[in-house]
Structure 1
Amino acid sequence: MEPYLLNIALNPIIPGEVTIMRNIFFDSGKANLKDESLAELNKLYEFLIQNPSIAVEISGHTDDVGSEDYNMTLSDQRAQAVTDFLVAKGIDSNRLQHKGYGFTKPLTTNQTQEGRAKNRRTEIKVIEMPK
């Protein structure tokens, strides 16, 4: 898969704004992070280090291949894998929420291979900022 270039530093940072992390990869049907994801994950880590008062929701999304239960579980496990990576690097788990949405929030149609690929994604949403 061809990596996308994405600068996740939100400028300005807006609560509720969603950023799609296009370079976070998993094997099909699995929640293990692939090595190709490290650069993007490290960018997210650096963003959180540079903005220590921000909390984020990490959300996993799938295409509609398979049952709803299967995809909800898989998307949650993938969001948890990203959370676990960040916690292992020292980010306080209280700053991180994870949620799997399965195929309930598609970006586009699931009728084509390209559409399904776009719907398989990890998103980051700023949920808390200093007052």
Structure 2
Amino acid sequence: MKKIALTAALAMAMGISATVQAHPENEGYATNGSETVWKTGYGECWQHGFWKAEDKTEACGAEAAAPAPAPAPAPAMKMALIDAEEKHIVYFDFDSSQVTDVSAIVNYVGSLAELGSIELKGYTDRIGSNAYNDALSQRRVEAVDAALAASGINTAKTVTHSYGEANPVKACTDAGASTKSCLAENRRVEVSISGKKQVHVQQ
């Protein structure tokens, strides 16, 4: 009788050993051939000797993972007008009021939702009499104003000033022919543009 009981116990132990396998989804638990976890008469999952706390599954008492938080909604945007200002400089050849290129000015004005004003300040170098340079600086601002108008810009809001040889940005000690080249940065019309731009802003 003892031999029969021992044989039965050994057979059962061998059967359990054969089914206690490591399955990635049920690692740490005794399973049958279809990888179903064995349970006790109390409904508890049957853990084998290599079970670890991290092996616990939801089916065997682990808490369900908290759902990932929903992504925050993108902030609502709206269009708004903001103040904008930009400055440009138009340079001139010696003793000339011929305008070469105003495309950068035209492009910037075209990017504005509203044009506030355009201010033109004309200057010359120090060569020549004060009276002549005053008149030349006036011709230069008038030439820039005309070039902008010809490009389709409404110059009704343009304000012009002529300062002759005042406010030089370059002081030169060169003599002779090189003086004209050195003073080139003083032969200019400064263009100040103000207005409003339309931009996206967060509500």
Using structure 1 for the length normalisation, give the TM-score.
Answer: 0.69
Cα distance in 2 for residues equivalent to 1:95 and 1:57: 9
110, 116, 120: which is aligned to 1:54?
116
Equivalent residues in 2 for 1:1-131, closer than 5 Å? 13-14=84-85, 19-21=87-89, 24-33=90-99, 37-38=100-101, 41-51=102-112, 52-112=114-174, 113=179, 115-126=182-193, 128-129=194-195
Could you tell me which residue of structure 1 aligns to residue 54 of structure 2? none
The amino acid of 2:95's aligned partner reads G
Tell me which amino acid in the other structure corresponds to 1:72: D
CA distance in 2, matches of 1:72, 1:48: 28
Other structure's SS at 1:97 match? strand
Which ranges in structure 1 are unaligned for 5 or more consecutive residues? 1-11
Q: Determine the C-alpha separation between the residues in 2 that align with 1:94 and 1:85.
A: 14
- Residue type of the alignment partner of 1:88: A
Indicate if the aligned counterparts of 1:20 and 1:121 stay in contact, CA closer than 8 A: no
Q: What do the CA deviations read for 1:8-67 (whole angstroms, capped 9, x no partner)?
A: xxxx834xx7x352xx4544323222xxx22xx011011112223231111221111001
Instruction: Give the 3 Å change call, closer, same or farther, for CA 111–123 of structure 1 in structure 2.
Output: same
Distance 2:91 2:188 in 1: 8
Q: How many residue pairs were aligned? A: 108
Larger Rg belongs to = 2
* Residue 56 of structure 2: aligned partner: none
Which shifted more, 66-75 or 100-109? 100-109
Moved more, 46-55 or 79-88: 46-55
In the alignment, structure 2 segments of 5+ residues that lack a partner are: 1-82, 197-203
- SS of equivalent to 2:183: helix
Partner Cα distance (1:43, 1:64) in 2: 28
* RMSD across aligned positions (CA): 2.3
Question: Are the counterparts in 2 of residues 48 and 54 from structure 1 also a CA contact under 8 Å?
Answer: no
Give 1:9's aligned residue: none
